[in-house]
Each structure stands twice: as C-alpha cells, then as structure tokens.
Structure 1
Amino acid sequence: MTKSQLIEAVARAEGITLRMAELAVNVTFEAMEEALIKGDRLEVRGFGSFKVKEYQGYKGRNPKTGEVIEVKPKRLPFFKVGKDLKMRVNGEK
C-alpha cells in the first residue's frame, strides 16, 4: 500500500475529502517522525512499536576495493511488530 492508497482508504472510510484525509495522514506521520527524532518510543497497540536504535561506529571494508573505511556511528528507526498484528498476518485470529 502506498501513501496515496492510504489517503484514499481514509477518505472512503471516514467519508471525507481526499484533501482532509491527506492532511490527517500527513499530520500523523509528521507526529510519529518528530517523536522518533526526539528519541521517544512510539507504540501503536495491536500494531507494533517504533524506537530509535543507536549503532556504534566501526571499521569496515569497501567490498569493491578492499580499502578499510571508517563507518560513523548512526541512529536508525527500528520497528517491532505487535503480537496481535503478527497473529492476524499469520491467520491465527
């Protein structure tokens, strides 16, 4: 499902215009993004949770040249699926 398809689904389900649905979806994603940028954990009951994981820097190797390179520390979003969603995807509920 793309963002456009999600907007259309919200508009149909709630009987609102595409513009209003787009605003709702954008505001939701922006709020989620802001929470993760601040380092907050984000939980959607029955769906899953998001958090930011911190990774240390390390020395890596360029696979093409074999040259040793320094990989900088980084922060990346991580999603953990919720139990209810996992069960529904597997047809268990």
Structure 2
Amino acid sequence: MVEKVSEKSGLTICQSENALNGIIDSIFEELKTGDVRLMWGGTFAVAGRQERNPRTGEAIEIKPRRVPIIRAGSILKREVNQGNQG
C-alpha cells in the first residue's frame, strides 16, 4: 500500500508511510468517539454487539463489545464494480 501511495502521490516511500500511518492512527482515534466519514463516501463506524444463545435465540448477558465496521459508500461501490464489467 505504501508503494502505491508513493507512486500516485509523488511522495517518497518514507513520506508515504508516514502519511498512511497518520491517516490510520487518526481513524483509530476518531473511532473511539464516533463514526469517521470519508470523502469517497465510505464510513468507518463502531457498533455494539449482542450475543445470543444459539439454541434458544435468547440474548446472553456478556460484557458489551464494540465492533469496528466499514460501510462502503456509493463512490467506493462504483469503483470496485467498474473492474467487473465486460
């Protein structure tokens, strides 16, 4: 990924790695307080997760967990699907 960022941006490998790490660290930090919306329409979010007893379907009391999720926006979906045409 660092090499691709370097190629596309014209930054050195070291600069690209620093930039990418800075973005990822910022996303991690922001997820502690809320959702992160990106300009290409994607959203990183944290959702609560509830466990269920597989036999009865009944909710199980466990320590609450927060699970990171990524919701793809329309721009990301369109870009991913352009390679599947034809």
TM-score range, shorter chain: 0.7 to 0.9
Q: Does 1:7 align with 2:2?
A: yes
1:1-93 correspondence to structure 2 within 5 Å: 6-38=1-33, 40-56=34-50, 58=51, 60=53, 71-91=62-82
CA displacement 1:18-75 (0-9 Å, x = unmatched): 111110000000000000022x11111224101110123x4647xxxxxxx8643100
**TM-score w.r.t. length of structure 2:** 0.74
Contiguous gaps of at least 5 residues in structure 1: 1-5, 62-68
SS in 2 for 1:90: helix
Equivalent residues of 1:41, 1:49 under 8 A apart:
yes
CA RMSD, Structure 1 to Structure 2 (Å):
2.2
Work out the number of aligned pairs and report it: 78
Pair 1:10–1:53, CA change in 2 (3 A): same
| Fraction of identical pairs, as percent | 31
